[in-house]
Amino acid sequence: MDQYNGWADEGFGPVADAFARNFADFPELGSGVTVFAGGRKVAELWGGVADGRTGRAWERDTVVPVFSCAKGMVSLAVHLLAQEGRLDLDAPIAHHWPEFARHGKEAVTPRMILGHRAGVPVLDSVLSFEEIAAWTPVVRAVEDQKPLWEPGTAYEYHGHVFGFVLGELVRRLTGLTPGAYLRSTVTEPLGLRAWIGLPETERGSLARLVESEGRRPMPGPEHLLTRIVTMNGALVFPGLDEPHGWNDPALHAIELPGAGAVASASGLAGLFAAAATGVDGRERLLTHETVTDAVREVSSGTGWLGFDAGARWGSGFLLDSAAFRPLLGPRSFGNDGAGGQFAFGDDEHGVGFAYVANRMIGHGDARANRLIEAVRTLL
């Protein structure tokens, strides 16, 4: 890439160099990266094409589906409520949501959900898209779900259930759905372009996703992993050009708190910087003690399905893991999204970072890791 837009402060040129190399070395279409250091934006870069059909350029404010980066947003909301003393992460969810206790879930805690250990990675109920959009039918299905294993004894990625369980806790404690709670308490006050439930007024700034050739297909529809990702087929993945697929405005508009966030690079980086350090002179959202609790390892190693991808999980966040996602150190906390999106914060190094893109590469995607490596060399 000969030309990118944006800027990088003196000393942060390696981030710009790595961003340009991504366009040379990968089938990049459009993307953006933003880095905060010490609560101040030090690099904001963007380039390429937001919509391959029209040639519309990627702009500074372009937003894109960031998939499971939503988990980081919902986890932030949960940790804020815990920090305020309104939620105990190690007390049963049923204290706030009595109906949740059915079918052997009476001892399940928020931390078990945050660490993917609750035994409910998927629902048995087959819901329609309209029922998922309505929220309450999913809550009822969660209540009726029996754990697949004894809660706390194993872990497996909890996909969409993660967001709905924690989101319902947020709703019961605040009266607001998680997307509305984050808008009112965090993103709108800080002017951050990150949403769970994209406002209709923002559709014009949305990048269109495309798949890279050779991307691995999903397993068959009965495979547990496929059921986790698609909510038993109610959603399609990636299904970019299908109804209720990931280019459908109807999907972006609903609150899908496990995987349905839409954000710009600066919006997502700003969110993690606000959590870790505070931004623009404001007090940090998460205290040192809260981050210490969040980055304590809860799950790692071989999951219930028998795979070990090398990921390490704290309470709601991916942790620094050499084999899966090398970050900056033991106080790094982040989340990735399908297709290459990634964001994290680190209060020891004072960093907030996000990379977003519309070309979904999949397994072996090194674009974000290269950019993080560039940041690491500067510390």
Mean pLDDT, the chain, whole residue set: 96
What is the pLDDT, as a whole number, of residue 57? 98
**328 within some domain:** yes
Q: How far apart are CA 254 and CA 175, in angstroms?
A: 17
**192 within some domain:** yes
The domain that contains 224 carries what CATH number? 3.40.710.10
Whether 1 has a pLDDT exceeding 70, the answer reads: no
Question: CB of 285 within 8 A of CB of 76?
Answer: yes
Q: For 218-269, write each residue's pLDDT tens digit.
A: 788 889 989 999 999 999 888 888 899 999 999 999 999 999 999 999 999 9
This model's pTM is above 0.95: yes
**319 within some domain:** yes
**130 within some domain:** no
Six-digit token string for 3: 């030309």
Q: How far apart are CA 166 and CA 148, in angstroms?
A: 19
Residue 41, C-beta contacts closer than 8 angstroms, at least 6 positions apart = 34, 35, 266, 269, 270, 279
Q: How far apart are CA 253 and CA 251, in angstroms?
A: 5
Q: How far apart are CA 179 and CA 260, in angstroms?
A: 10
Q: For 73-124, write each residue's pLDDT tens digit.
A: 999 999 999 999 999 999 999 999 999 999 999 999 999 999 999 999 999 9
What is the pLDDT, as a whole number, of residue 106? 98
Rounded mean pLDDT, 19-47: 97
Name the domain count of the chain.
Answer: 1
Rounded mean pLDDT, 271-291: 97
Which amino acid, 28? Answer: E
**120 within some domain:** no
- β-pairing, 210-211 with 359-360? parallel
